Amino acid sequence: MPPRPAADSPEASDRTGTAAATARKARFWDRTAVKYAATPIADRVGYETTLQRVRSLLSFDHDVLEIGCGTGTTAFRLAPYTRRMLATDVSAGMIAIAREKLAVDPLPQLRFAVADADLPMAGVGVYDAVLAFNVLHLVADLDRALELAVQALRPGGLLISKTACLLEMNPLIHRLALPVMRAIGKAPDVLCFDAATLQAAIARHGMHIVSVERHGSRGKDFRVFIVARKPA
């Protein structure tokens, strides 16, 4: 067994910081889980377009991982098009609601688990697709989350993401509104980047960008949909 790092070592500090970030994220989303579950989808047409696009990329022999699944709404829509699907979220409250829905409407392909996208849990090379919807701007470390997602993919596997690019919004949102809302506990910690930055980050992990799309049906769409493939 390798020696345990000293309490004041950089490795121990990194672990402590990651654990604190995970706990902070979990607390925020646990508090909002019930409200989140009851909130209607703002752009239903855009959402259905995304679902249709993702279904066209999946196969009935695919093993699929979803990170940041929330209360499972999207997982329920996509799981029937897979061989098996593991949907995860950092919030135990969100997963509890998802499991309640699964108990009412069982899907043999679908399973839910509590897991943080910033931490390893999925294994290496075990999934044909990793789905990351509305979560990559909410991770503590974008490169770490992408590294783990890519590791989980089999050769030739797909990373399919849809992400809010806050730098493409009105600057007052990320410079003023978000800091104030975070300070009073009304918003989570977020990463601010644009689509080009996200695309570059995905490519930096050896992924081939297959497609960059926008599916919104109302005005300017700040959520970029990216499909990337792991080299075979």
In a domain, 186, yes or no: no
The domain total for the chain is 1
The closest alpha carbon to 81, from 58, 100, 50, belongs to 58
For β-strands 110-114 and 84-89, DSSP reports them as parallel
For 82, which DSSP code? S
- Cβ count within 10 A of residue 38: 9
| Domain span at 128 | 10-165+193-229
Domain CATH code at residue 86: 3.40.50.150
pLDDT along the chain (232 residues), means of 10: 52 64 94 96 97 98 98 98 98 98 98 96 91 97 97 98 96 85 87 97 98 96 97 96
For β-strands 153-164 and 110-114, DSSP reports them as unpaired
| Model pLDDT, residue 1 | 45
In a domain, 21, yes or no: yes
Q: Is 230 helix (H, G, I), strand (E, B) or coil?
A: coil
In a domain, 102, yes or no: yes
Q: Classify 98 in phi/psi space as left (phi over 0), alpha (psi -120 to 50) or beta.
A: alpha
In a domain, 126, yes or no: yes
Q: How many CA atoms lie within 13 A of 115 on its CB side?
A: 19
pTM of structure: 0.91
Cα–Cα distance, 66 to 51 (Å, whole number)? 13
| Model pLDDT, residue 187 | 86
In a domain, 176, yes or no: no
In a domain, 144, yes or no: yes
| Model pLDDT, residue 6 | 55
Q: Is 118 helix (H, G, I), strand (E, B) or coil?
A: coil
In a domain, 175, yes or no: no
